[in-house]
Amino acid sequence: MPPPLPAILLLGGAGTRIAALYPGLPKALVPVAGRPFLEHQLLWLARNGLRRVHLAAGIKAGPLEDWLAAPRPADLRDLDITLSREPTPLGTGGALRHLLPILPDAPAFLSFNGDTLTPNLSLDLSELLPSSFSLPTSPSTAHLWAIPVPDATRYGTLDFDPATRRVTAFREKAATASGHVNAGIYLIPRPLLETIPADRPVSLETECLPRWAAASLLLAHPAPPPLLDMGTPDGLAQMTHFLQSAPPKSEI
C-alpha cells in the first residue's frame, strides 16, 4: 500500500500585514474564534480524510515547534504531524522544493497556503489519484482549486477551459467585476516539484504556475466560496465572524 499523501501547510511567511496585532507570533498561531488558526486548518484537513500533515515552517518556526511539542487538543490527536524549518526564506515554490528530500516517499504533495481556509470545500481526490500511486518518472499534471468571487479587484484571477479544466491564463489584479481566484490549494506531482530551482527563492504563484499552465500541465477545479484569508486585520475579523457563526461540524 502506498504511503498516505502528505498535506503540506506552507507556514514560512513573515506575516507582515498582521504583525502589528501579534508581534513575534506566526500567522498559523494567531487566535481565531477561540483557538489558533492552525488548529482550524488541521480540523478541516481531518474532516477531508487527510491525516498526514507536514508543517513547512520558516523564520517564525520556534513557536510552531513549541506548539507541536505541547500536549495536543483531543480532536487533533489522531493526526500524524511533522515539521521542518527552511534554512532561509525560499518562497512558496522553494519551500515545496526544499521538502523533496525531507519527504522522500511522497509521490506528490497536497499543498495549502497557511493563512487561508475554504470551509465549504470537500476535497475528493479519488479521480485525481490512482489506486496505486507509484513514483512517476516524468512531469505530469498539477492541479489547483479556484473559487469564484463577486468582486475580484483585490485578487489576481485565472481563466480555465470549463470542459477540459486546463488553466489558460493568469491575470493581475484589475478592475473586473468577478472571476475565479486561486484558493491556494495545490496537488503537485513530485517530478514537477523537481523542476523548481533549488538554489534560490521561488514563487509558486508567479513563476511555477504560469509556466506549468503555458505547458498545459495545470488543471483547475472549481471550489465553493467563501475563501477566508486571515492575513490582514479585516480578513481576520471576517474569518472570526464566519467561524463563530457557522453551525458545529460533525465529529472527525
Q: What is the pLDDT of residues 28-37, one digit of tens each?
A: 999 999 999 9
Model confidence band, residue 249 (pLDDT cutoffs 50, 70, 90): low
The reported pLDDT for the residue numbered 140 is 82
Q: What pLDDT is attached to residue 150? A: 84
pLDDT > 90? residue 24 = no
| pLDDT at residue 52 is higher than 50 | yes
Would residue 180 count as lying in a domain? yes
**105 in a structural domain:** yes
The residue among 217, 214, 216, 209 whose CA lies nearest residue 183 is 209
CATH number at residue 95: 3.90.550.10
- pLDDT reported for residue 153: 72
The mean pLDDT value of the chain amounts to 88
pLDDT in tens, 184-233: 999 999 999 999 999 899 999 999 999 999 999 999 999 999 999 998 89
Q: What is the pLDDT of residue 129?
A: 62
Between the CA of residue 162 and those of 49, 88, 136, what are the distances in Å? 27, 39, 27
Q: Who contacts 211 (Cβ-Cβ below 8 Å, separation ≥6)?
A: none
pLDDT at 36: 96
User: Is 88:41 a contact under the CB 8 Å cutoff?
Assistant: no
Domain annotation covers residue 146: yes
Residue 94 belongs to what domain range? 7-245
In a domain, 173, yes or no: yes
pLDDT band at 132 (very low <50, low <70, confident <90, very high): very low
Q: Distance (Å, rounded) from C-alpha 196 to C-alpha 203?
A: 10
Distance CA(171)–CA(157), nearest Å, equals 5
- Domain membership flag for residue 117: yes
| pLDDT of 144 strictly over 80 | yes
pLDDT band for position 172 (cuts 50, 70, 90): confident
| Res. 240: pLDDT tops 60 | yes
Taken in order 19, 24, 29, 31, the sign of the CA dihedral is negative
Domain count, the chain: 1
1, part of any domain: no
Any domain includes 191: yes
Alpha-carbon gap, residue 37 to 28, rounded angstroms:
5
Residue 22 lies in a domain: yes
